[in-house]
Structure formats: C-alpha cells, structure tokens
Amino acid sequence: DTGVSQDPRHKITKRGQNVTFRCDPISEHNRLYWYRQTLGQGPEFLTYFQNEAQLEKSRLLSDRFSAERPKGSFSTLEIQRTEQGDSAMYLCASSPEGPSYNSPLHFGNGTRLTVT
C-alpha cells in the first residue's frame, strides 16, 4: 500500500492558462474522488469515479473543469482558462470496492494550485 499519489505537489500558473493534475490511487481501489480545499475551509467534493465511470459531479465543477479516469486506474483533472479563484489545494482520494459508506477515503497530499 503505497498510498494515494498526486502530481505535481505545487503548480503556479498565469491566469488563462490550462493546467492538468494527476492522481494515482491505491492500487485496486476502484473508487476515486476529487476534492478542492481553500484556505481555512474544509474540502469540497468535486467529482467521483467508480472504475472508469464518472458517477457524480458537483455543481462546483464548472465547464472549465474536466476529469477523466480512462482505464479505471489513474485520473486527471484539467482546468481550462484558469482564474484566480481556482487557486486552492486539489485533493484526490480513493477507496476500495464495497458499500461506499463503509469505505473510508484515503487521501493524497494534494496539488496546490496558485493562479497569478
């Protein structure tokens, strides 16, 4: 169990640029989640995959955000035309198969995005 891995750890970009983050879940975890956390706030749910299927999306996920999990393993989160309000920590989490309520989420260390 190597834990959830996220890359990069930090990303600084200029407003209007596109950015992509990667998440590698714990192997054999079929559920993968993306959350966003701003300073002084709790994580906010963005989206959820079960294997390669994106099953749930938050209203927070504007059309500039897109997430994929093409082979049911790693996932990418892309933000197009970044805005300063996108500056946040983006957290990825995974959990094993089974009733989703019964499986605690294992979080990665996050990718901190700063939009200048």
Partner 1 sequence: AQKVTQAQTEISVVEKEDVTLDCVYETRDTTYYLFWYKQPPSGELVFLIRRNSFDEQNEISGRYSWNFQKSTSSFNFTITASQVVDSAVYFCALKGGGADGLTFGKGTHLIIQP
Residues forming the site for partner 1 (CB under 8 A): 31, 33, 40-45, 48, 55-56, 58, 89, 91, 93, 100-102, 104-110
Q: How far is the CB of 101 from partner 1 (least distance, A)?
A: 5
Q: How far apart are CA 91 and CA 88, in angstroms?
A: 9
Nearest to partner 1 of 92, 115 (CB atom): 92
DSSP state letters, 14-47: -TT--EEEEEEPPTT--EEEEEEE-TTS--EEEE
Closer residue to partner 1 in complex, CB, 14/99:
99
Asked whether the CA dihedral 46, 44, 29, 109 is positive or negative, the reply is positive
Nearer to partner 1, 12 or 55 (CB): 55
| 3-class DSSP assignment, residue 100 | helix
Closest separation in Å from C-beta 18 to partner 1: 24
Q: Whose Cβ is closer to partner 1: residue 14's or residue 39's? A: 39
Other C-beta atoms lying within 10 Å of the C-beta of residue 98: 10
Q: How far apart are CB 16 and partner 1 at their closest, in Å?
A: 27
